[in-house]
Amino acid sequence: MAAVSMRSRSRSMELSPEEERILIRDIALAAEANSKEGDIFYLLTQRWWQHWIDYVNQDQPNNPNDASFVSEHYDSAGSSTLKRPAGIDNSDLIYDAASADTNSGIDIHDTLLEGRDYVLLPQEVWNQLHTWYGGGPTLPRKVISSGLSQTEMAVEVYPLRLQLLVMPKGDRSIIRISKKETIAELHRRACDIFDLSMEQVCIWDYYGRRKHALMNDMDKTLDDANIQMDQDILVEVLNPVNGTTLGRSTSSVRYNGSLEKEGASVLVEPSKSSLSIAGGLSATKGASRSYSVELIQSQGLIARELDTPYGTIGVSTRGSSCGLTGLQNLGNTCFMNSAIQCLVHTPEFARYFREDYHQEINWQNPLGMVGELALAFGELLRKLWAPGRTPVAPRPFKTKLARFAPQFSGYNQHDSQELLAFLLDGLHEDLNRVKHKPYIKSRDADGRPDEDVADEYWANHIARNDSIIVDVCQGQYKSTLVCPICNKVSVTFDPFMYLSLPLQSTTTRTMTVTVFTCDGSALPSACTVTVPKQGRCRDLIQMLSNASSVKHTEKLLLVEIQHHMVQRFLEDPLISLSTIKDDDHLAAFKVPKLANTKYLQLIHRRREQGNSDSQITSGWKPYGTPLVLPISCDDEIIGGNILMMVHKMLSPMLRTKSLERTKISGVMSATEGSDPSVDLCSGEACTDSVVSNSANKDITSSKPVSSLELPLQLVGENNTCTDLWVGVEKAIRLASSSTSILIYVDWSQKFLEKYDTHYLENLPEVFKYGPVTKKARTEPLSLYTCLEAFLREEPLVPEDMWYCPQCKERRQASKKLDLWRLPEVLVIHLKRFSYSRSMKHKLETFVDFPIHDFDLTNYVASKKNARRQLYELYALTNHIGGMGSGHYTAHIKLLDENRWYSFDDSCVSPINEEEVKSGAAYVLFYRRVATEDADASC
C-alpha cells in the first residue's frame, strides 16, 4: 500500500517528459560513477525501455552533442503524440508469467541478449521508474568481479543453475545460485530445501555423474571450485534411518522460499519407472519445454538405446533432410554454433563420428580431456545428423566444453576461431592413437636435401600424433630463419592445423607522430607519414625528418609516451616498427646534433579537479605529454641553464602577445643585448638549445623575476624534489650512471591562464581507426594476396628473437614460411580482429575468395610431387557487426544435395552460391579436389 500511495503521489505531481528524462539521467550518472562489486542492477525489457526513451525525448531537438544518459538510446523517430508508457511489463523476459507473483524464484529465458531483449539499470534508476510506473516482475542481478585478474566488474545476469541430487533417496531440485557464493551457502541452501541439517550431509561436485571432489572448504566460492552451469551436485545424506533419507520428499522446486514451475525441474524416484516433471510442461513456454526434454535425455533417464554405438540415429541416405538441423542459441553461443556446424559438416568427421569411434578414444592421454570432449562432440554430431529438423540445444556439449576450457563458460560472446582451434586440438588429443609418445629430438637440416628433412620431421610428428584430426586437417610448412649477423640458416618443417592470414593488402603503413621543437621556434604539430610495414625506426625517422624539415645541424629523437611519462627512447635505428602498436603514442623532438649528452625529461603535473592550490605537493598528478631536451655533459649544468631551456621550449604556448617581451629573469636583461638566441619568447628560431658558459656566468648576476616563474622541481635521488629557482646559481651534480634528468613542472591555475597547454594534452595515436570508407569496401582483396603476405619474409619481433646456435646469442632473425604438405581439409582463418592494450578492432575488408578451383600449386615449395593442388570451398563462418555486439553464422554446402544453406543458430535456410561471398567471411573450410594427377600424400 505504501508503494501504491507513493506512486499516486508521484503521478499527482504530473512530471513532464523532460523532467523525467533529466531526473533519470542525473540518477544514472551518479549511480554509475559509484558502481562497485555487490551492487544490484535490474533487468528491464528493451521494448518498454525504448517506449519510455521515445516518450521522454519526443520534444527534444536532434542534438548530436547531447551526452545525457538517455540520448544514446534515443531514436529520433519519436513522435510528439507519444503517450506515457503503461506499467512496466517484464513478462517477455521470463519463462512463466504466471509465477511472477513474487520477486524471487523467477527464471529468465536462456537466450536473452543485452541491448536486444533487455537493458540493465542501476538500482536507483529502477527504483525511480518503478515508483512512477509500477509493474514488474522485478529481476535483480548482482555485480560481481570477473576476468582473469578478478578486477573487472560484470553483472551476473545468469547465475549458476545446479541440480541437487539427494542420495540415497533420489530427490532432486534445481536451484539458481551466484558463482560468487560460497560452498557454505550452497550447503545452507541444500539443507533448507530438503529439510536437512548441516551435520547430516556431505556435498560433492558430481560432474559427469561421478564424485569429482568433496566440497568441504566452506569459504571457497563456487567459481573457485570450477562449478559450471547445469551440472549436478550430489547431496549425500549420512546415517540414513531405515534406508531412507532424513529429509522430506518434494514435488516442486524451491528457490529462495518460492516455488519454481520450470520444465527442467525433473524429479525421479528410483523405485518408479515413470517420469514426473514439476509444475507440468503445459505451464511452460516452448524454450523451457525443449530444454526439459534435452535435460532428460542428457541424464540417461529415457531412451537407453542412446547408449549403444549407433543409437536410433543410423546413417542418412541420399535425398533425406539429414544434416539440416539447427542449434539453439543458449545465450551468446552463436560463436560456438557456427564453428560446430562447419565441423560436423566436414564429410570425413561426419563419417567418422557416426561410426563406432569409441575404440580410438585415448582415455589416459594427460594432454586430452579423458575422452569426454570427443564423446560430447560425437553425441552432438549424431543428433545433428539424425532425421528430423527440430533444433538441438547443445547444453551438454557446452557444459563439457566449459569444464575443460573455462574461458568459454558463461554466456559471453567469444571468438569462433579460438573455439575452433581449441576443439581441433582437444579432439586430436582425445582421439590420439598414440598411447605412449616417444621422445624424439629434431635435427637441423645441416645442408641435407629439404625433401629428406621434411619427411623426417613428418615421421617424427606422426610418431607422437596420429588421429582423425591429423589425417584430415594437418599440413606442414617449411620455416627458414636467417641470422642477420653471421648469416646462419636454420630450416625446420613444422605441422599446422590452420592458416591465419593477414588482411593488409599493402606493404606500407601510415603512422602519426607529434613533432616538438626544443628551440621555441614552432608549436607542436602532428605529422603523418607512410613507412614500410616491416620497416625499422630509421625508416620512420627519415620520413619524419623530410616531412618536418629537420636542419642538417639537427636530428629527431623518437620516444614512446605512456601514462604521461616516457616509456622508452627509440634511439636504436634497427628497432622493428612492428613493435609499435597502432594505439601507441609517439613524440619526436628536434634536437641539435651533440656528442656526450643527457636528456632532460620535463614531466607536467596539475591538481585534480576540486583541489585547491594550497594542497601539499603530493597532490599533483602527471598529465599531458612530457617534453625532452638535450643537455651537453661537456659543460657544467647550472639550474638557470635548465630554466632558460624550459621557458624557451614553452614560449610558443604563451597566450598573450604582450607577455612575449616580459623579462623572465635577470638573465634576460643581462643577455638579450648580446645573444639574440636566448630571446625565449620572441617566437623566432634559435640556433642552439644548449646555453653557453658565457650565458651561465650572466645567470649568477641577478635574481629571477616572479612574473613567469614556472615552479620547476628537480627530482634527485630517492625521488626527493628540489626547487630549481632556489638553486638557480648552483651547479647540478648527477650520478654518472644517470642517463636523464627528471624535472616536474607544476601547472597551477595562474600559469594555465598564461599558457595554452592543450597542445600537450591530446597526443594522437599512431593510427586512429575510423569508419571503413566506401573506397575500401569497393576494392576487394584477393585471398591469394593474403596468402602471399603470410608467406612473405619478415623480421621476428623482439620478444620472439631466435637463439642463433652459431653466434650463441639471441638475434632478431628474418623468417620465411613456405607451404610444404597440404591437408585434405584446409582451414583458413582471416585475421579480422586485432587486439592491443586499450582497444579491439575489426577489419571489414572484403576478401574475394574462390569457391571453386582454389589453386595452391604454385605456393607449395615441395617439388617432390609437383601435381596440381586444387581445393573447393564447402563451409565458412561469418561474423556480422562490431566487436561488442556481433553475431556469428555459417554457410555450408550439403555435398549430397550440391546446395548451399545458411545456418543461423536454430534457423536453417537455403541460399544461392552468389550469397556465400561477403565481407563477413571469417573462417574458410576447403576440401581437396580429386584430380587425375593429384597425389594424396602431398
Cell of 652: 610558443
| Same domain flag for 164 and 152 | no
Return the pLDDT at 152.
65
Residue 629 · residue 643 · CB < 8 Å: no
Residue 63 buriedness (CB in 10 A; 0-12 / 13-18 / 19+): exposed
Give the tens place of pLDDT for each residue, 400-410.
888 888 888 77
| Same domain flag for 440 and 465 | yes
**Is residue 253 pLDDT above 80, yes or no?**
no
Give the tens place of pLDDT for each residue, 842-852.
788 889 999 99
> Does 22 fall in a domain?
yes
Q: What percent of the chain has pLDDT over 70?
A: 73
Of 15-29, 74-88, 286-300, 644-658, which has the strongest mean pLDDT? 15-29
Return the pLDDT at 105.
67
pLDDT band at residue 855 using 50, 70 and 90 as cut-offs? very high
Q: What is the rounded average pLDDT of the residues 444-460?
A: 87
**Is residue 295 pLDDT above 90, yes or no?**
no
pLDDT band at residue 824 using 50, 70 and 90 as cut-offs? very high
The region of weakest confidence among 368-382, 682-696, 902-916 is 682-696
Cell of 598: 643527457
Q: Annotate 393-444 with DSSP letters as a single string.
A: --HHHHHHHHHH-GGG-TT----HHHHHHHHHHHHHHHT-S-SSPPP-----
Catalytic residue among 187, 428, 647, 887: 887
**Measured between alpha carbons, how far is 537 from 328 in angstroms, rounded to an integer?**
51
Total residue count of the chain as it appears in this document:
938
The secondary structure element, H or E, covering residue 630 is: strand 627-632
**Is residue 915 pLDDT above 60, yes or no?**
yes
| Same domain flag for 538 and 492 | no
Return the pLDDT at 761.
84
Q: How many domains does the chain have?
A: 4
The amino acid at residue 579 is T
**Is residue 48 pLDDT above 60, yes or no?**
yes
**Is residue 444 pLDDT above 70, yes or no?**
yes
Of 171-175, 225-229, 452-456, 533-537, which has the strongest mean pLDDT? 452-456
> Does 826 fall in a domain?
yes
Return the pLDDT at 933.
56
Greater confidence (11 vs 874) lies with: 874
Q: What is the rounded average pLDDT of the residues 170-180?
A: 86
Return the pLDDT at 889.
94
**Which of 237, 268, 301 is the endpoint of a domain?**
237
Give the 3-state secondary structure of 749-767.
Answer: HHHHHHECCHHHHCCCCCC
> Does 275 fall in a domain?
no
| Same domain flag for 573 and 445 | no
Give the tens place of pLDDT for each residue, 653-702.
888 644 444 444 333 333 333 333 333 333 333 333 333 333 333 333 33
For residue 334, indicate whether it is catalytic. yes
| Same domain flag for 749 and 799 | no
| Same domain flag for 389 and 534 | no
Residue 121 · residue 129 · CB < 8 Å: yes
Q: By C-alpha distance, which of 49, 56, 25 is closest to 135?
A: 49
Residue with cell 536453417: 908
The region of weakest confidence among 68-77, 310-319, 580-589, 664-673 is 310-319
Residue 734 · residue 741 · CB < 8 Å: yes
| Same domain flag for 149 and 169 | no
Q: Where are the extended beta strands (E) located within 789-883?
A: 794-795, 802-804, 809-811, 814-821, 825-830, 833-835, 840-842, 847-848, 854-855, 870-880
Residues of the domain holding 438: 333-502+785-928
| Same domain flag for 170 and 52 | no
Give the tens place of pLDDT for each residue, 713-750.
888 777 778 777 776 667 776 666 667 788 888 888 88
**Measured between alpha carbons, how far is 871 from 315 in angstroms, rounded to an integer?**
27
Residue 329 · residue 343 · CB < 8 Å: no
The amino acid at residue 755 is Y
CATH of the domain at 43: 3.30.2230.10
Q: What is the rounded average pLDDT of the residues 379-394?
A: 84
> Does 923 fall in a domain?
yes
| Same domain flag for 34 and 168 | no
Of 252-256, 348-352, 441-445, 864-868, which has the strongest mean pLDDT? 348-352
Give the tens place of pLDDT for each residue, 524-547.
988 888 888 778 898 899 989 988
Phi, psi for residue 282 in degrees, rounded to 5: -65, -20
- Tell me the pLDDT of the chain averaged across its residues: 75
Residue 651 · residue 680 · CB < 8 Å: yes
Greater confidence (847 vs 296) lies with: 847
**Measured between alpha carbons, how far is 332 from 335 in angstroms, rounded to an integer?**
7
| Same domain flag for 349 and 397 | yes
**Is residue 71 pLDDT above 50, yes or no?**
no
**Is residue 877 pLDDT above 70, yes or no?**
yes
Catalytic residue among 322, 334, 518, 537: 334
**Is residue 471 pLDDT above 60, yes or no?**
yes
Return the pLDDT at 507.
64
The DSSP letter of residue 858 is G
Q: By C-alpha distance, which of 361, 369, 380 is closest to 404?
A: 369
Given the DSSP bridges, would you call strands 508-517 and 585-592 parallel, antiparallel or unpaired? parallel
Return the pLDDT at 275.
24
> Does 637 fall in a domain?
yes
What's the alpha-carbon Rg for the chain, to the nearest Å? 35
CATH of the domain at 188: 3.10.20.90
**Measured between alpha carbons, how far is 881 from 902 in angstroms, rounded to an integer?**
17
Greater confidence (632 vs 277) lies with: 632
**Is residue 788 pLDDT above 50, yes or no?**
yes
pLDDT band at residue 870 using 50, 70 and 90 as cut-offs? very high
**Measured between alpha carbons, how far is 843 from 834 in angstroms, rounded to an integer?**
8
**Is residue 278 pLDDT above 60, yes or no?**
no
The amino acid at residue 89 is D
Given the DSSP bridges, would you call strands 781-782 and 847-848 parallel, antiparallel or unpaired? parallel
Residue 579 buriedness (CB in 10 A; 0-12 / 13-18 / 19+): middle
| Same domain flag for 876 and 730 | no
Cell of 207: 560432474
Q: Which residues pair with 526 in a beta bridge?
A: 514
CATH of the domain at 466: 3.90.70.10
Phi, psi for residue 622 in degrees, rounded to 5: -65, 145
Contacts of 620 (CB under 8 A, 6+ apart): 605, 606, 607, 744, 746
Greater confidence (136 vs 270) lies with: 136
Residue with cell 542412446: 306
Q: How far apart are the first and last CA of the chain?
A: 80
Return the pLDDT at 338.
95
pLDDT band at residue 310 using 50, 70 and 90 as cut-offs? very low
| Same domain flag for 491 and 549 | no
